[in-house]
A and B are shown apart, each in its own frame.
Chain A
Amino acid sequence: MDIESIRKDFPILENKANGKKLIYLDNAATSLRPKQVIDAELNYYNNCNANIHRGLHRMSEDASELYEEAHKKVASFVNAGPEEIIFTRNATESMNLIMYSFFASGYFKRGDNIVISLAEHHANILPWQFLERKAGVELRVCGFAKEFGLDYGMLESLVDGKTKLLGIAHAHNTIATINDVEKIGKMLKKKNKDSLYLVDAAQSVPHMPVDVRKINCDFLVFSGHKMLAPTGIGALYGKKELLEKMEPFLYGGDMIKDVKMHSAEWNDLPYKFEAGTPAIAQGIALGAAVGYLKKIGVNEVRKHEKQLTKIALEKLAGIKGITVYGPEDIEKRCGIVLFGHEKLSAHEMAGLLDKMHNIAIRSGMHCAQPMVESLDKKGLARASFYIYNTEEEIETFSEALKEVTTVFR
């Protein structure tokens, strides 16, 4: 993996403030985009700007092909069938698609339960909260055992015959824990074979190999903007047989085959779930992003991030007053480092690092308030890594953090 040549694809990294080069460590929030992705999006507008599946002119055909190609690329990236990948706006919309579709068909009934974990992103909490209110479903929350590992025993005890869905993150966006999603899937289906299994892969698909067949989940969701693609594009993987049975989420153009005044026949997968003109340029660019990641090799990405995380953990452990939250074992965590300081608040650290060193990290609740609040009521800081981050950057970051916490403590 040649980081120097990768970095050349990201012109934004040359941006300077205060004479200092940008160090971007907020990749868990959104990643940067390489030239290749931006060019792919631009190419659509410049060369084949047309609506898809509607015209017979050249540009429409080109656009349709590129858009379908993107579905195939994304599908093969997670080892799914092309008809099993639905383009959405983001992981959040994918979650809501699942929730609304099953809610509309009356799948969730009073007395049923949904199991999630304490560390879930709000996107994997709030849709189920809605069902708590509207369908009388019970939301069961699994806690964490020692060293921020999921409490598998507790999770198993929460699942029963009334469990209609288990939703869990593959990698958590705060404490960085990577859950054994294969093991969870097996446990779930063993205890209740009819229960739906949903995996939130927003923090794993961009950073490590993900295989939906191996995980054997019913649904898997992720966002494009966290994996080098533009904003406004994300994906939902669903098992074909489930997607075929499901009620559509949005109704309108493109999601139909045949429409009468009082009835309609839905389009084939995946377009049954892509009503209206989709984010065509963004979808095509997502395909380009996947291509970019494939070229590097997602195993390489994971290896690189492990190395960066290892350095970061070592360095941060040496800074007085800093507490790092998350598993110590590199194998059990993703490229995210969540930390707090005994005196400085997360916002203060983030603000000072930005203003003084042009280093971008995230601070606050990270859209996982229940988890973060259980660790620190005021929020925590987070540094998250990606393919273009270098070991020197991690060292600069920890030096800067050391300086800031020494000067302002």
Chain B
Amino acid sequence: MVFCIVGLVIFGILGIFSAKYRGFAKEAFRCVFQTMTLRKCTTGFDEKMRIRISAKLAEKNNFLGKIVFTHFQEISLLFAALTIASLFMVGLGAYNLALYGNCNGPSAISSFCAFSPETYAKVLTIDRSEFFIILGIISFFFSAYYLSIFISKEALEKKKIKNKVLGIVSVALLLFSGYNFFFYQNSPSSIKMVNTEGLLSKGNADAPIKMIEVGCFTCPYTQQTEPMVSEILKAYEGKINFTFKVFPLPAHKYSEIAAEASACAEEQGKFWEFKDALFQEQLQCSLPEHNAQSNDLKAKAISAAKSIGLDLNQFSECLESGKYRAFIEKQKQDCIAAGIYGTPTFYINGKVVVAPKTKEELTSIIDGELKKVS
């Protein structure tokens, strides 16, 4: 049954190109269909394929053939799990691409996207949460298989030590990946202090609270927290020293242009105003019309610059020259080095909050810190 799923996908795809594989695909489909409708698979498809594949392999190498022959069930489970996991990732990627213009979601750090060639990263990286999703799906399949062996009466003779051990290992792996995914992975405690050297700050330099926001101009979540941040800065005026560090998300096509533009605005002493203007009419990655052309986005940046009264010639020249590209790249690398996995990330006297949903998540920490000082 397990192999039938893999077979259906593989032969289904191969069958598009060659009629030779269509028969196999049909057989695999019949097997999957029978099992889905709670009947016994009568095709013997997996058994036939098992013998076929191991015989082929044994011609090249006896040992290889034997391994596949004796562990066919486990190997098919692995492939089935990988197939499901990759189908899941592809689906997720396509969904994100349609919605945000990149495969990895609105606050993604990873820039790899198989769907849009221009965003290919130099190195393919799987972040930890993806790793544990895949590990989780694989171990789920194995756990389900071994559990079914222990539950089913037909397979009594299969209750060997090997199966018991593998069953326990798969359940343990499932729990481990679940734990990592939900509790450990991407926890704010894994984030290190970020470098703020040479960055502008706002408010009393000696204020008891040092608040750093790491955000991205094209990230919708960063934009959503903007009103929250201004309210806090107003309410705690004089008590907070605020720094904004830009983290141009690699997955967002225009995040770097926006970041460079902010540096050009800073050149004319209007960083904060420009930041507000950018967020007001965000170069949002979620709006399709903004994904069209980089020139459009430059125009947007220029219109934002115009609205706050910047010297447009100087600004455009600065943007064209790309002189802040290295600086922005350094900001990005700082953030990646600190292990920041989502924007906005806040540091309040070194305490980390990732993407707060409510103002209270921040104010409670600020109040606590203030209490300590007094």
Contact = CB atoms under 8 A, between A and B. Distances in A.
B56 A407 contact: no
B98 to A, nearest CB: 46
Interface of B: 47-48, 51-52, 54-56, 58-59, 62, 65-66, 69-70
Given A355-B56, A356-B59, A407-B58, A348 B51 contact: yes
B66 A408 contact: yes
A221 to B, nearest CB: 30
Contacts of B69: 348, 408
Interface of A: 18, 347-348, 351-352, 355-356, 407-408
B48 A351 contact: yes
Contact of B65 (A347, A351, A407): A407
B372 to A, nearest CB: 71
Interface centre among B48, B51, B58, B65 (most CB of A within 10 A): B51
**Interchain residue pairs A-B with the least CB separation, the first 3:** A351-B51, A355-B55, A356-B55
A356 B66 CA distance: 13
Contact of B66 (A347, A355, A407): A407
A352 B56 CA distance: 9
A16 to B, nearest CB: 15
A351 B45 CA distance: 12
Contacts of A407: 58, 62, 65-66
Contacts of A348: 51, 69
Nearest to B51: A351
B71 to A, nearest CB: 12
28 contacts: A18-B59, A347-B47, A348-B51, A348-B69, A351-B47, A351-B48, A351-B51, A351-B55, A352-B51, A352-B54, A352-B55, A352-B58, A355-B51, A355-B52, A355-B55, A355-B56, A356-B55, A356-B58, A356-B59, A407-B58, A407-B62, A407-B65, A407-B66, A408-B58, A408-B65, A408-B66, A408-B69, A408-B70
Nearest to A377: B157
A408 B71 CA distance: 11
Contacts of A351: 47-48, 51-52, 55
Contacts of B55: 351-352, 355-356
A347 B47 CA distance: 9
Nearest to A356: B55
Contacts of B51: 347-348, 351-352, 355
A103 B11 CA distance: 51
Contacts of B47: 347, 351
A46 to B, nearest CB: 34
Contacts of B52: 351, 355
Contacts of B54: 352, 408
B52 to A, nearest CB: 6
Contacts of B65: 407-408
Contacts of B62: 407
Contacts of A356: 55, 58-59
Contacts of B56: 355
Contacts of A352: 51, 54-55, 58
Nearest to B48: A351
A207 to B, nearest CB: 30
A407 B56 CA distance: 13
A18 B48 CA distance: 17
Contacts of B59: 18, 356
Contacts of B48: 351
B58 to A, nearest CB: 6
A407 to B, nearest CB: 5
A355 B59 CA distance: 10
Contacts of A347: 47, 51
Given A351-B47, A351-B55, A408-B70, 9 more contacts: A351-B48, A351-B52, A352-B54, A352-B58, A355-B51, A355-B56, A407-B62, A408-B54, A408-B58
B233 to A, nearest CB: 73
